[in-house]
């Protein structure tokens, strides 16, 4: 699945397809934004998907994966309706973030809600704060989740309490770089979320420093020169899950909620 056409989300698709068999490709449709090399990257990508089963998804669609429910909640700036769900009280006390009009491609992101038995995880890719606010206000259509994959690599422009603190997530996973994402304002917002137990990160954030980053066991890459270490999430139908750090083998299991 290609969430959108920024280079860090589509740039290596051709190499990935050359390295492993892929039967299906999913995206949000032809580009609706310009600049930053999007047109050239999409041309390269489109030449690849012409030879593979290809589908365009929209909010409300399901992606068929055996053993789980994968629901599309955002795609191409469109969002699943928030007419259903409980009222989100944070909307009344939190101002809507200003929309950043110069970088619409982030808000083209495909956002997914994964459900496997009682386990639930939300991943909105690079959806920014203004669109997260629209998704979650005035009602919360997502409900509680176990794992929140933090928007836009933990950049401040993707953060809003109406999302980060309304999900009731036990764990946040931040796919940040040493110098990209992991912005200092993200950490207190995540730690203030009811039920939040741990933050896991792909890289130590240089901007956040020792006081902002979680303990080292929860960080896959400590050196700014990335060593390519990864985090693995293993979820179970009863709602329990385990996260493992490939750098040091550290693992933590979260028991199913009552």
What would the pLDDT profile of 178-206 be if each residue is shown by its tens digit?
999 999 999 999 999 999 999 999 999 99
Q: Which residues pair with 26 in a beta bridge?
A: 55
Question: What span, in angstroms and rounded, lies between the C-alpha atoms of 149 and 127?
Answer: 11
Nearest CA-CA partner of 203 in 167, 150, 163: 150
All structural domains of the chain with their residue ranges: 1-56, 59-254
For the chain, percent of residues with pLDDT exceeding 90: 79
Residue 12 pLDDT = 86
Greatest Cα pair distance, the chain, in angstroms, is 50
pTM (2 d.p.): 0.95
| DSSP one-letter string for 94-145 | SPPPPP-TT-GGGGG--EEEEEETTEEEEE-TT--HHHHHHHHSSEESS---
Question: What span, in angstroms and rounded, lies between the C-alpha atoms of 218 and 214?
Answer: 6
When pLDDT is cut at 50, 70 and 90, the band that residue 34 belongs to is: confident
What would the pLDDT profile of 104-149 be if each residue is shown by its tens digit?
899 999 999 999 999 999 999 999 999 999 999 999 999 999 999 9
What would the pLDDT profile of 14-31 be if each residue is shown by its tens digit?
888 889 999 999 999 999
Peptide bond into 138 cis (omega under 30): yes
Question: What span, in angstroms and rounded, lies between the C-alpha atoms of 225 and 132?
Answer: 32
257: DSSP letter: P
Residue 49 pLDDT = 81
């Amino acid at each position: 699945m290609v969430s959108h056409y920024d280079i860090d989300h589509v740039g290596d698709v051709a190499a990935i397809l050359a390295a492993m068999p892929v039967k299906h490709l999913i995206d949000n449709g032809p580009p609706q934004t310009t600049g930053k090399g999007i047109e050239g990257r999409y041309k390269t990508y489109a030449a690849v998907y012409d030879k593979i089963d290809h589908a365009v998804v929209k909010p409300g669609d399901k992606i068929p994966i055996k053993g789980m429910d994968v629901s599309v909640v955002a795609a191409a700036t469109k969002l699943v309706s928030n007419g259903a769900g409980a009222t989100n009280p944070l909307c009344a006390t939190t101002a809507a973030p200003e929309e950043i009009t110069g970088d619409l491609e982030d808000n083209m992101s495909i956002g997914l809600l994964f459900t496997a038995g009682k386990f639930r995880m939300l991943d909105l890719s690079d959806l920014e704060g203004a669109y997260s606010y629209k998704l979650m206000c005035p009602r919360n259509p997502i409900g509680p989740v176990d794992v929140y994959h933090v928007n836009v690599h933990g950049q401040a422009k993707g953060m809003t309490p109406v999302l980060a603190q309304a999900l009731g997530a036990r764990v946040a996973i931040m796919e940040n770089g040493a110098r990209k994402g992991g912005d200092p304002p993200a950490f207190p917002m995540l730690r203030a979320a009811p039920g939040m137990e741990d933050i896991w990160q792909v890289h130590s954030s240089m901007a956040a420093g020792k006081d902002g980053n979680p303990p080292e066991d929860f960080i896959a890459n400590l050196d700014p020169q990335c060593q390519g270490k990864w985090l693995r999430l293993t979820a179970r139908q009863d709602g329990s899950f385990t996260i493992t750090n490939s750098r040091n083998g550290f693992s933590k299991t979260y028991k199913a909620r009552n």
